[in-house]
Amino acid sequence: DAGVIQSPRHEVTEMGQEVTLRCKPISGHNSLFWYRQTMMRGLELLIYFNNNVPIDDSGMPEDRFSAKMPNASFSTLKIQPSEPRDSAVYFCASSLSRPVASSESLGFGADTQYFGPGTRLTVL
Amino acid sequence: AQKVTQAQTEISVVEKEDVTLDCVYETRDTTYYLFWYKQPPSGELVFLIRRNSFDEQNEISGRYSWNFQKSTSSFNFTITASQVVDSAVYFCALMTTDSWGKLQFGAGTQVVVTP
Protein backbone atom coordinates (compact mmCIF):
# COMPACT_ATOMS: atom_id res chain seq x y z
CA ASP A 1 0.00 0.00 0.00
CA ALA A 2 1.23 3.46 -0.80
CA GLY A 3 2.13 5.61 2.15
CA VAL A 4 1.87 9.35 2.38
CA ILE A 5 3.33 10.94 -0.73
CA GLN A 6 4.97 14.34 -0.72
CA SER A 7 6.41 16.42 -3.51
CA PRO A 8 8.84 17.80 -4.19
CA ARG A 9 11.35 16.00 -1.99
CA HIS A 10 13.76 18.90 -2.20
CA GLU A 11 13.11 22.53 -3.06
CA VAL A 12 15.62 25.32 -3.33
CA THR A 13 14.28 28.77 -3.95
CA GLU A 14 15.19 32.38 -3.53
CA MET A 15 13.81 34.71 -0.93
CA GLY A 16 10.57 36.28 -2.03
CA GLN A 17 9.48 33.43 -4.27
CA GLU A 18 6.32 31.44 -3.79
CA VAL A 19 6.71 27.85 -2.67
CA THR A 20 4.05 25.16 -2.89
CA LEU A 21 4.42 21.84 -1.14
CA ARG A 22 2.11 18.97 -1.99
CA CYS A 23 0.80 15.99 -0.11
CA LYS A 24 -1.27 12.94 -0.94
CA PRO A 25 -2.50 11.17 2.20
CA ILE A 26 -2.96 7.45 2.60
CA SER A 27 -6.10 6.37 0.80
CA GLY A 28 -9.03 6.16 3.20
CA HIS A 29 -7.49 8.40 5.82
CA ASN A 30 -9.63 11.35 6.81
CA SER A 31 -7.20 13.52 8.74
CA LEU A 32 -4.16 15.30 7.39
CA PHE A 33 -1.43 17.13 9.27
CA TRP A 34 1.38 19.47 8.23
CA TYR A 35 4.49 19.61 10.43
CA ARG A 36 7.72 21.54 10.22
CA GLN A 37 11.05 20.30 11.57
CA THR A 38 13.95 22.59 12.36
CA MET A 39 17.01 22.20 14.54
CA MET A 40 15.93 25.07 16.74
CA ARG A 41 12.27 24.20 17.26
CA GLY A 42 12.11 20.48 16.57
CA LEU A 43 8.89 19.05 15.17
CA GLU A 44 5.95 21.40 15.33
CA LEU A 45 2.42 21.05 14.05
CA LEU A 46 1.40 23.78 11.63
CA ILE A 47 -2.16 22.87 10.71
CA TYR A 48 -4.45 19.90 10.47
CA PHE A 49 -7.57 18.96 8.55
CA ASN A 50 -10.35 16.54 9.30
CA ASN A 51 -12.58 15.53 6.40
CA ASN A 52 -10.95 18.26 4.30
CA VAL A 53 -11.88 20.99 6.79
CA PRO A 54 -9.13 22.92 8.62
CA ILE A 55 -9.54 22.22 12.32
CA ASP A 56 -6.64 24.03 13.90
CA ASP A 57 -4.20 26.36 12.19
CA SER A 58 -2.81 27.90 15.36
CA GLY A 59 0.63 26.56 14.52
CA MET A 60 0.88 28.40 11.21
CA PRO A 61 3.69 30.89 11.83
CA GLU A 62 2.27 33.86 9.94
CA ASP A 63 0.07 35.00 7.12
CA ARG A 64 2.68 34.08 4.57
CA PHE A 65 1.71 30.45 5.18
CA SER A 66 -1.51 28.98 3.87
CA ALA A 67 -2.81 25.44 3.47
CA LYS A 68 -5.65 23.94 1.51
CA MET A 69 -7.25 20.57 1.16
CA PRO A 70 -9.57 20.69 -1.85
CA ASN A 71 -10.36 16.99 -1.67
CA ALA A 72 -9.64 13.90 0.39
CA SER A 73 -6.58 12.94 -1.60
CA PHE A 74 -4.65 16.18 -1.92
CA SER A 75 -3.36 19.03 0.19
CA THR A 76 -1.01 21.94 -0.37
CA LEU A 77 1.05 24.10 1.89
CA LYS A 78 2.00 27.42 0.34
CA ILE A 79 4.52 30.00 1.48
CA GLN A 80 4.33 33.39 -0.18
CA PRO A 81 6.69 35.17 -0.04
CA SER A 82 9.31 32.78 1.24
CA GLU A 83 12.08 33.84 3.60
CA PRO A 84 15.36 32.18 4.61
CA ARG A 85 13.96 31.41 8.05
CA ASP A 86 11.37 29.16 6.41
CA SER A 87 14.13 26.72 5.53
CA ALA A 88 13.16 23.43 7.16
CA VAL A 89 11.86 19.96 6.48
CA TYR A 90 8.11 19.95 6.04
CA PHE A 91 6.26 16.75 6.78
CA CYS A 92 2.77 15.74 5.91
CA ALA A 93 1.04 13.03 7.93
CA SER A 94 -2.32 11.35 7.73
CA SER A 95 -4.50 9.24 10.00
CA LEU A 96 -7.84 7.52 10.07
CA SER A 97 -9.52 9.44 12.83
CA ARG A 98 -12.63 8.46 14.62
CA PRO A 99 -15.21 11.00 15.76
CA VAL A 100 -14.44 12.80 18.97
CA ALA A 101 -18.05 12.82 20.06
CA SER A 102 -17.67 10.54 23.05
CA SER A 103 -15.29 10.61 25.95
CA GLU A 104 -16.22 7.12 27.08
CA SER A 105 -14.34 5.40 24.32
CA LEU A 106 -10.66 4.73 24.67
CA GLY A 107 -10.41 4.89 20.90
CA PHE A 108 -11.30 8.56 21.09
CA GLY A 109 -9.39 10.54 18.59
CA ALA A 110 -5.76 9.71 19.06
CA ASP A 111 -5.23 7.65 15.99
CA THR A 112 -1.75 6.98 14.73
CA GLN A 113 -0.34 9.51 12.31
CA TYR A 114 1.70 8.15 9.44
CA PHE A 115 4.26 10.49 8.00
CA GLY A 116 5.42 11.16 4.48
CA PRO A 117 9.10 11.36 3.54
CA GLY A 118 9.18 15.13 3.95
CA THR A 119 10.13 18.05 1.73
CA ARG A 120 13.45 19.70 2.47
CA LEU A 121 13.03 23.40 1.72
CA THR A 122 15.96 25.75 1.38
CA VAL A 123 15.29 29.44 0.92
CA LEU A 124 18.35 31.40 -0.15
CA ALA B 1 -0.07 22.30 29.06
CA GLN B 2 1.49 19.20 27.58
CA LYS B 3 5.19 18.59 27.52
CA VAL B 4 7.51 15.76 26.56
CA THR B 5 11.08 15.64 27.79
CA GLN B 6 13.78 13.48 26.28
CA ALA B 7 16.75 14.43 28.39
CA GLN B 8 19.28 12.34 26.47
CA THR B 9 20.48 14.22 23.42
CA GLU B 10 22.72 11.47 22.10
CA ILE B 11 23.56 7.93 23.11
CA SER B 12 26.47 6.04 21.60
CA VAL B 13 26.77 2.30 21.94
CA VAL B 14 28.67 -0.54 20.41
CA GLU B 15 26.73 -3.10 18.46
CA LYS B 16 24.98 -5.74 20.59
CA GLU B 17 24.76 -3.48 23.60
CA ASP B 18 21.36 -2.62 25.01
CA VAL B 19 20.24 1.00 24.96
CA THR B 20 17.40 2.63 26.88
CA LEU B 21 15.84 5.91 25.81
CA ASP B 22 14.07 7.94 28.45
CA CYS B 23 10.81 9.81 27.92
CA VAL B 24 9.05 11.83 30.59
CA TYR B 25 5.75 13.52 29.88
CA GLU B 26 3.53 16.08 31.55
CA THR B 27 -0.21 16.39 31.20
CA ARG B 28 -3.22 17.05 33.37
CA ASP B 29 -5.47 14.92 31.23
CA THR B 30 -6.35 11.49 32.50
CA THR B 31 -6.78 10.09 29.01
CA TYR B 32 -3.84 10.44 26.72
CA TYR B 33 -1.71 8.54 24.22
CA LEU B 34 2.02 8.10 23.95
CA PHE B 35 3.95 7.33 20.81
CA TRP B 36 7.45 6.53 19.69
CA TYR B 37 8.74 7.36 16.21
CA LYS B 38 12.07 6.58 14.58
CA GLN B 39 13.82 8.95 12.17
CA PRO B 40 16.69 7.19 10.40
CA PRO B 41 19.37 9.13 8.52
CA SER B 42 17.21 9.02 5.39
CA GLY B 43 14.84 11.43 7.16
CA GLU B 44 11.43 9.82 7.19
CA LEU B 45 9.48 9.41 10.41
CA VAL B 46 8.54 5.81 11.14
CA PHE B 47 5.83 4.92 13.64
CA LEU B 48 6.91 2.38 16.24
CA ILE B 49 4.27 2.16 18.95
CA ARG B 50 1.18 3.78 20.44
CA ARG B 51 0.06 3.30 24.03
CA ASN B 52 -2.98 4.71 25.83
CA SER B 53 -3.00 5.92 29.41
CA PHE B 54 -5.18 3.09 30.65
CA ASP B 55 -2.84 0.35 29.52
CA GLU B 56 0.31 0.10 31.57
CA GLN B 57 1.33 -3.27 30.25
CA ASN B 58 4.85 -3.35 28.98
CA GLU B 59 5.24 -4.28 25.36
CA ILE B 60 7.88 -6.19 23.48
CA SER B 61 8.27 -6.30 19.74
CA GLY B 62 11.33 -8.17 18.62
CA ARG B 63 14.35 -6.35 19.99
CA TYR B 64 12.22 -3.36 21.03
CA SER B 65 10.48 -3.06 24.37
CA TRP B 66 8.60 -0.28 26.10
CA ASN B 67 8.12 0.40 29.80
CA PHE B 68 5.16 2.63 30.63
CA GLN B 69 4.91 3.85 34.23
CA LYS B 70 2.17 6.33 35.06
CA SER B 71 3.52 6.78 38.59
CA THR B 72 6.63 8.43 37.19
CA SER B 73 5.04 9.75 33.96
CA SER B 74 7.57 7.85 31.93
CA PHE B 75 7.43 5.83 28.74
CA ASN B 76 10.90 4.46 28.19
CA PHE B 77 12.11 2.55 25.16
CA THR B 78 14.77 -0.15 25.15
CA ILE B 79 16.58 -1.60 22.18
CA THR B 80 18.10 -4.95 23.02
CA ALA B 81 21.22 -6.17 21.25
CA SER B 82 21.50 -3.01 19.19
CA GLN B 83 22.45 -3.11 15.53
CA VAL B 84 23.94 -0.52 13.23
CA VAL B 85 20.55 -0.20 11.52
CA ASP B 86 19.14 1.09 14.81
CA SER B 87 21.15 4.28 14.38
CA ALA B 88 18.53 7.01 14.18
CA VAL B 89 16.83 9.78 16.08
CA TYR B 90 14.01 8.50 18.24
CA PHE B 91 11.10 10.74 19.20
CA CYS B 92 8.63 10.29 22.00
CA ALA B 93 5.29 12.07 21.53
CA LEU B 94 2.14 12.76 23.51
CA MET B 95 -1.43 13.36 22.44
CA THR B 96 -4.20 14.20 24.87
CA THR B 97 -7.95 14.25 24.50
CA ASP B 98 -7.84 17.97 25.19
CA SER B 99 -5.65 18.54 22.17
CA TRP B 100 -6.91 15.92 19.79
CA GLY B 101 -4.77 15.57 16.69
CA LYS B 102 -1.85 17.49 18.11
CA LEU B 103 1.22 15.36 18.61
CA GLN B 104 3.53 17.02 21.11
CA PHE B 105 7.00 15.74 20.29
CA GLY B 106 10.03 15.56 22.51
CA ALA B 107 13.33 16.91 21.24
CA GLY B 108 14.48 13.45 20.21
CA THR B 109 17.41 11.23 21.18
CA GLN B 110 20.11 10.45 18.65
CA VAL B 111 21.25 6.83 18.90
CA VAL B 112 24.57 5.96 17.31
CA VAL B 113 25.42 2.29 17.06
CA THR B 114 28.96 1.49 15.98
CA PRO B 115 30.17 -1.90 14.80
pLDDT of residue B30: 87
Indicate whether A102 pLDDT > 90: no
Which residue of B35, B95, B100 is the best one to mutate when testing the A interface, meaning the one whose CB has the most A CBs within 10 A?
Answer: B100
| Contact across the interface for A117 and B52, Cβ inside 8 Å | no
Shortest distance between the Cα of B35 and any Cα of chain A, in A, equals 8
pLDDT of residue A99: 61
Which residue of A30, A60, A113, A115 is the best one to mutate when testing the B interface, meaning the one whose CB has the most B CBs within 10 A?
Answer: A113
- Integer distance in angstroms from the first to the last C-alpha of chain B? 41
Strand partners, A38: A42
Which residue of B5, B31, B45, B75 is the best one to mutate when testing the A interface, meaning the one whose CB has the most A CBs within 10 A?
Answer: B45
pLDDT of residue A109: 53
pLDDT, tens digit (0-9, with 9 covering 90-100), for A65-87:
999 999 999 999 999 999 999 99
Please state, in angstroms and as integers, the Cα–Cα distance from residue A74 to each residue in A4, A9, A85, A104, A121, following that order.
Answer: 10, 16, 26, 33, 19
pLDDT of residue B6: 97
Shortest distance between the Cα of B16 and any Cα of chain A, in A, equals 29
pLDDT of residue A1: 65
Which residue on chain B is closest to A108 by alpha carbon? B97
Residue A63 burial by Cβ neighbours in a 10 Å radius (0-12, 13-18, 19+): exposed
pLDDT of residue A62: 87
Q: At A9, is the pLDDT very low, low, confident or very high (cuts 50, 70, 90)?
A: very high
Structural contact between residues B4 and B106, judged by C-beta atoms closer than 8 angstroms: yes
Which chain B positions have a beta carbon within 8 Å of A50's beta carbon?
A: 101
pLDDT, tens digit (0-9, with 9 covering 90-100), for B99-113:
777 899 999 999 999
Radius of gyration of chain A (CA): 15
pLDDT of residue A107: 42
List chain B residues with pLDDT less than 70: none
Q: Find all residues with CB under 8 Å of B87, minimum gap 6, and list them.
A: B40, B41, B111, B112, B113
pLDDT of residue A106: 43
Partner B contacted by A105 (CB < 8 A):
no
Partner B contacted by A96 (CB < 8 A):
no
Between CA A68 and CA A78 the distance in angstroms is 8
Structural contact between residues B40 and B86, judged by C-beta atoms closer than 8 angstroms: no
